[in-house]
Amino acid sequence: MQLKVNGVVHDVQVPDDMPVLWVLRDVLGLTGAKYGCGIAQCGACTVHVDGQAMRSCILPAASAAGKAIVTIEGLGPGLTAVQRAWIDVDVVQCGYCQPGQIMSAAALLRERPNPSDADIDRAMSGNICRCGTYPRIREAIHRAAALMKGGS
Q: Which is nearer to ligand FES, 19 or 99 (CB)?
A: 99
CA atoms of 63 and 50, how far apart (whole Å): 12
53/37 Cα distance (integer angstroms): 17
Site for ligand FES in 71-110 (CB under 6 A): 92-98
Q: How far is the CB of 16 from ligand FES (least distance, A)?
A: 32
Distances 3 to 11, 65, 69, 71, 152 between C-alpha atoms, Å: 7, 5, 8, 13, 37
| Span from 21-29, 61-69, 128-136, 140-148 in contact with ligand FES (CB under 6 A) | 128-136
User: Is the distance from CB of 24 to CB of 5 less than 8 angstroms?
Assistant: yes
Q: By CB under 6 A, what part of segment 133-152 binds ligand FES? A: 133
Residue type, 100: G
Using rule CB under 6 A, residue 130 touches ligand FES: yes
* Minimum CB distance to ligand FES, residue 12 (Å): 29
70 binds ligand FES, rule: CB under 6 A: no
* Closest separation in Å from C-beta 43 to ligand FES: 10
Euclidean distance between CA atoms 139 and 134, whole angstroms: 9
Which range, of 60-68, 69-77, 107-115, 124-132, touches ligand FES by CB under 6 A? 124-132
Q: At how many degrees (to 10) do helices 134-148 and 98-111 cross? A: 40
Question: Contact residues for ligand FES (CB under 6 A)?
Answer: 92-98, 129-131, 133
